[in-house]
Amino acid sequence: MKAVVQRVSEGSVMVDGKVHTSIGKGFVILLGIKTGDTKDAALFLADKCAALRMFEDANEKMNLSLKDVGGSVIVVSQFTLYGDAQKGNRPSFIEAARPEEAEPLYNLFVERMKSLLGDDKVGAGVFRAMMEVKIVNDGPVTILIESK
């Protein structure tokens, strides 16, 4: 499982031309789930994302977490994080988990984030939907985290 964590000044997800969820300061997390990922991987990654210190303190060091700054999160499922374009020009998604395997792990990740940060601080995309994701990077600061 991997997460692309982007620090944002604002973010939103639109589905069918309507805003589904939006945040101000916080993270937009693009979550990729591969075949064989486990509940433990989802919990580990959620715990890690919630605790990341990616916001600057008074000394301009990245030393503050989402909780410290009152930030929010949007989690978006993105199977294309497991796209492999090593051969040819058309990516292969063979490593990406099938929807029936990925969706419960995605939901577990989102629920864990809510339990750590509060229901009102966590939004989510719509699994398997075509979405427009607006990400206004702050910095930009982007961190890639993978489960073991």
Say which residues have a Cβ less than 8 Å from residue 10's Cβ, sequence separation at least 6.
22, 23, 24, 25, 134, 136
Annotated catalytic residue: which of 21, 35, 80, 142?
Answer: 80
What whole-number distance in Å separates Cα of residue 36 and Cα of residue 114? 24
Structure tokens at 80: 């294309």
Identify whether 80 is a catalytic site residue: yes
Burial class (CB in 10 A: 0-12, 13-18, 19+), 68: exposed
Structure tokens at 94: 């063979």
Asked if 54 and 139 touch (Cβ cutoff 8 Å), the reply is no
Query: Angle of helix 99-117 relative to helix 39-51, nearest 10 degrees?
Result: 40
Catalytic residue annotation: 80
